[in-house]
Amino acid sequence: RHEIHPEEGRSLSRETMLKDILIMKKFNINSVRTSHYPNDPIWYELCNEYGIYVLDETNLETHGRRDEIPTSLPEWSANCVDRAKSMVQRDKNHPCILIWSLGNEAGKGDNFILMRDWIHENEPTRPVHYEQYNEIADMRSDMYASADQVRSHNDPQKPYILCEYAHAMGNSVGNLYDYWDAFDNNSRAQGGFIWDFVDQAIKEDNYLAYGGDWGDNPNDGNFCANGIISADRELQPEIWEVKKQYQNIRLKAVDIENGKIEIKNQYLFTNLNSFNNSWDLMADDSLIASGTIQDIDIKPLSNKVVEIKYSIDPTKEGVEYWLNVHFQLKETTKWADKGHEIAFEQFRIPNVKNVVKFIDPKLFPAISLIENGNALEINGKSINLTFNKKNGELTSYKFKEIELIKNAPTPNFWRAETDNDRGTWHMEKVASIWKDVSISRELQSFNHEIISENEVKIKVSYSLKTDPISTYNITYTIYGTGDIILENEFNPGDEKLPLIPSLGLMMNIPQEFENINWYGRGPGENYIDRKYGYPIGIYNDKVKNFWESYIKPQEMGNRTDVRWATFTNEEGTGLLLVGNPTMEINALHATPFDLDGPRHPSEVKKENDIVIRMNYKQMGVGGNNSWSIWGMPYQEYQIKTNKNYKYNFRIVPITSNQNPMKISKQGFKDLIHQNPNL
């Protein structure tokens, strides 16, 4: 954590420091590294009072000249020792201090041995850390090592930490779950310090400024904005994933069908009976059972298998069952109120009847077709759809005379660059072809077929000007109810084409459909490699709240594992979007192209319309670092061009008196809704 505030500068008020402490405590952060200098004495007093461990760091860094200064040069010896001595003598009586650090990125040499020896002789109660010269330190430390490197570390002589990891620049902190699996499974590994806590920026009139905003050149751009909270102390979405992975109570399914779970207490001094706990069993959005775990006497650093008594109806078709377990503070503390959640886990209960029955389209109202020049009109009892035969697009979709779309659902392969996309694989340069073909495509064919008086198919084929050519086909199956099944088939032209940032459909709907309700992960923004802090459930919000104020505009607003989502007006009329079985949903008043380029959120051109992306998949955000290929999303979270892709969505008109959960479970022969085993 750096000492910085957008208005207070480098001299923080006690109120700001306390706010930082309270955020740390509430989000399960138990230690802080004073990077890269001793902090204001008040900070240590607050850490003592509230219970935060401190790695206290000497004010010594020679990053760009570390091979020359201070090394073993005798002219620097007294200065180096004096800096360590000043820190230790000032801070040694603070019980919060766990570790002394000799500095940051200042190279090796005898001067560090002199510093260590002085500390060992004068204050031997705490270990000495120094990542640059692990041979002389009391512990081993790395920066930005991978989770697999953590797993393989096996020095029997020293404990191991990451003094910097999970570079949190912009929309980042993917893979944190993997690091904590590695920490939990290596007895030598003791955790790490995320880089870093708060964005470094200065307040200007209507934005937070960073390098280059004052005409300064050279500059480092927004590279110092890598916190899990913003410079003005607003929470960013990553912090919920941090809270989840940092929780000191681990829960694992042992025999979940019979309610058996293992609870592991990773607290050093606290029995789990010091907390309240609760559990609830959900059948989709319906609470069917709840209670508490009674036998919860689990001592520090021990584990126990407990049994939760519940039952489900295994014959209930299409239902997903979720067991949610929560731990809360039993009493109000200095840092949080009674009932504050400190840990949770969600388990999916298998249901053999998770496939719904098909419905018979013959029961639907009849529809008719009219060809009118370049327009193909499909009309039914309450619906009117119009396709443009020249570009293959659905240009109008009306339900009871209410227009549901503004721009047609079209193939989209692009997302706005994240900071990690810019720094790790130069997405705009390497993969810009996917931006180009998201904007324009060439219609190859447009055909329609009347299946029955209740059902029509529209088949649209596009070529995409990649080299070699890629193709994208959409088959619209339209029913008399207004249901549209969109079968998508994407065939990349060559496996050597670049990675695809995002894969799905993008469309605009009128701004009046501002109310969003979804069944998936939430409530906050999440991505496939940063989603475990966001349980699956039913959530409600406004589209405007999907906006995230990253200091530099970039990809934002995603939700994963979405079964369905509705966008409705104040009367409850609108659209229901259904995945097969899941999808990723992104909704903003901006396109990915609007977000690319502006330096500050206030400069983004906002759309009046709502821009929806229904994604089969979006790349993860990565974040092991923000400057090399090792910081890219893991292979399993990339979208490669070495295979063809098929995926379906369903669009349904909906009114306030209809149940989206029930409607989403309807089985069409084109859309077999089988719930995933997540």
**Is 372 in a helix, a strand, or coil?**
strand
**Cα–Cα distance between 152 and 155 in angstroms, integer?**
10
Contacts of 394 (CB under 8 A, 6+ apart): 385, 386, 387, 405, 408, 409, 476
Report which residue type is found at 160. Answer: Y
Report which residue type is found at 35. Answer: S
Written in H, E and C, the secondary structure of 240-262 is HHHHHHHCCEEEEEEEHHHCEEE
Say if residues 90 and 45 touch (Cβ distance below 8 Å). Answer: no
Angle at 586 between CA 583 and CA 590, to 5 degrees: 155
Say if residues 358 and 678 touch (Cβ distance below 8 Å). Answer: no
**Cα–Cα distance between 137 and 113 in angstroms, integer?**
9
Residues with active-site annotation: 105, 164
Say if residues 283 and 321 touch (Cβ distance below 8 Å). Answer: yes
| E strand residue ranges, 381-514 | 383-388, 393-399, 402-403, 407-412, 442-452, 455-464, 470-479, 484-491, 502-509
**Is 425 in a helix, a strand, or coil?**
helix
Of 612, 611, 594, the residue nearest 603 (C-alpha): 594
**Cα–Cα distance between 132 and 244 in angstroms, integer?**
31
Report the Cα 579 to chain-centroid distance in Å: 20
Element containing residue 612 per DSSP (H, E): strand 610-618
Residues linked to residue 456 through DSSP beta bridges, in sequence order: 450, 478
**Cα–Cα distance between 155 and 148 in angstroms, integer?**
15
Q: How many CB atoms lie within 10 A of CB 322?
A: 18
Of 165, 157, 150, the residue nearest 134 (C-alpha): 157
**Is 408 in a helix, a strand, or coil?**
strand
Write the DSSP string, 310-348: ----TT-TT--EEEEEEEEESS--SSS-TT-EEEEEEEE
What tokens appear for 59 in the block?
């004010």
Most distant CA pair in the chain: distance in Å? 92
**Cα–Cα distance between 488 and 462 in angstroms, integer?**
11
The β-bridge relationship of strands 189-194 and 202-203 is unpaired
Element containing residue 471 per DSSP (H, E): strand 470-479
**Is 615 in a helix, a strand, or coil?**
strand
Q: How many CB atoms lie within 10 A of CB 215?
A: 6
Alpha helices per DSSP H over 363-445: 419-420, 427-430, 432-439
